[in-house]
Amino acid sequence: MSGKGHKHLAGIIIVAQKRPLAESLRPESLDDFIGQSHFRQRLRTLMQSKDLPSLLLFGPPGCGKSTVALLLAKHADKPFVRVSAPEVGITALRKQIQDKEILILDELHRYSKAQQDFFLPLLETGELTLIATTTENPSFSVTRQLLSRLHVLRLRSLGMAELVDVGKRGMEKLDSLIPEKSLELLATLSGGDARTMLNLVEFAAGLEEKDLEPDQLKTRLPEIVLRGDREGDSHYELASALIKSIRGSDPDAALYYLASLVETGEDPRFICRRLILSAAEDVGLGDPMALPLAVSCEQAVERIGMPEGWIPMAETTVYLALAPKSNSAYAGYLSAIKEIRTNGPKPVPLHLRNASTSLQKEWGYGQGYKYPHAYPEAWVEQDYLPPELKGRVFYQAKTQGHEERLALWTRKLKASRQRPKGKETKDWTG
């Protein structure tokens, strides 16, 4: 069997693939480039400079990093080569950059720290100009030594109007007509990614005219696979937004960011860990039941697995968002840490030390310790901090939720300053 677009080679049928729309529409000049208006003038300045510096283009997929790199390299009018880090090791790369003055390297973050060191002497001597791209925060994915030798340009996701313009160019290339509202729908689904937009336009161009209206188009489009970015910025940005929404007591926003994390394929164990930390840090003593609920959520997700694991995560997220908030325990610990790191740890007072041996008793360990349970209400006035820190306050009780009730008891006892009579147990070592 054979047909148009097929070739036979040693019994194997090879299907000739047409050039992807995104590749065929790659701009040949800056005037044709859509988006990134915030640094267009800087790009023009780079193109006009006599010597192109080494650059790192940082931004999400489909925002034009590789296109910018190619425009700059072509305008420099010097021999260049473009490679992708996942596909080429350092040994092969050495051969490819021979007699080349510019290297366009996609996905620099895929090289290890040791592999990244390969570029240091080449950039130091000016033997090679590197134009690298990455989707990951360079502060974490690129070595400090290499980063110091690169000028970083940050690219942004494309906006709605820019994506619609991209879609119109795709329509013209395909000689197709898609309604404006349908283009806006495709732009919304593209998530700021021009490549995804063109792929959707190419799919829609193959549909019948009656299926191009927004309501019909929704039912015809392939299911959008949301882009997961577990190691990059969006991973941390979504997690941060989830926690900040919980902290701000906004259950709607918290659920939205939880769903965003789940739908992008985030590891549910990571989500559960963030919920546990939020329960302890942000809800805290405002509702002491928040922490065991979050721990139970982790256990439930571990037991039932995904996809149903979102159910206990959603319940926990809403509970944490609605719960009264108090970070007093968290803030108190940070205050204590600051004291220790500034002035060093102080010796434990003798009366609080356990006298485990007769020699320690002679030294005064445990002497004068008052056993609280031997006094009414299980409390007696007594110094617990080292003498140098007497009177220091690290924990500041708040009045939200359950904490007011928890703190009221000790506040009342301390305010009374009474010394109730009772039996003292000086040698208590419990």
For residue 426, the model assigns a pLDDT of: 43
Q: Which residues pair with 176 in a beta bridge?
A: none
pLDDT value of position 416:
65
* 413 vs 31, more confident: 31
15: helix, coil or strand?
strand
Terminal C-alpha separation, the chain: 88
- Separation CA 167–CA 197 (nearest Å): 6
Q: Which amino acid, one-letter code, is at 11? A: G
The average pLDDT across 145-151 equals 93
Rounded to two decimals, what is the model's pTM?
0.57
pLDDT reported for residue 120: 94
Query: Residue 419: its pLDDT value, please?
Result: 47
Query: What token pair was written down for 141?
Result: 């994915």
Q: How far apart are CA 350 and CA 201, in angstroms?
A: 77
**Of the candidate ranges 21-30, 80-89, 227-236, the one whose mean pLDDT is the lowest:** 227-236
**pLDDT of amino acid 263:** 82
Under CATH, which number does the domain 233-322 receive?
1.20.272.10
pLDDT tens for each residue of 105-141: 999 988 988 899 999 999 999 899 999 999 888 887 8
Identify the helix (H) or strand (E) that includes residue 105: strand 102-106
Taking each helix axis as running N to C, give the angle between helix 310-322 and helix 233-247, from 0 to 180 degrees, rounded to the nearest 10: 50
Q: pLDDT tens-digit profile of 59-72?
A: 888 899 999 999 99
pLDDT of residue 427: 42
Would you state the CATH architecture of domain 36-154?
3-Layer(aba) Sandwich (3.40)
- Note the pLDDT of residue 190: 85
pLDDT of residue 223: 63
Identify residue 30 by its one-letter amino acid code. Answer: L
Give the model's pLDDT for residue 367.
Answer: 87
Structure tokens at 149: 């030798």
Residues 318-332 have a mean pLDDT of 91
pLDDT of residue 230: 45
Report whether pLDDT(361) > 90: no
Angle value at C-alpha 62, between 27 and 48, nearest 5 degrees: 45
pLDDT of residue 396: 81
| 374-385 pLDDT, tens digit each | 888 777 788 888
What's the confidence (pLDDT) of residue 254? 93
pLDDT in tens, 202-237: 888 888 888 888 888 888 887 654 444 444 456 678
Q: Which amino acid is at 100?
A: K
Mean pLDDT (the chain) is 84
Give percent above pLDDT 70 in the chain.
Answer: 88
* Structure confidence by residue, pLDDT tens digits, 338-349: 988 888 888 888
E strand intervals along 158-276:
none
Q: What is the pLDDT of residue 108?
A: 93
Q: What is the distance between the alpha carbons of residues 26 and 19, in angstroms, rounded to a whole number? A: 11
Distance CA 26, CA 11 (A): 36
Per-residue pLDDT, 407: 73
Reported CATH class of domain 347-416: mainly alpha
Average pLDDT over residues 283-303: 93
Position 87, amino acid = E
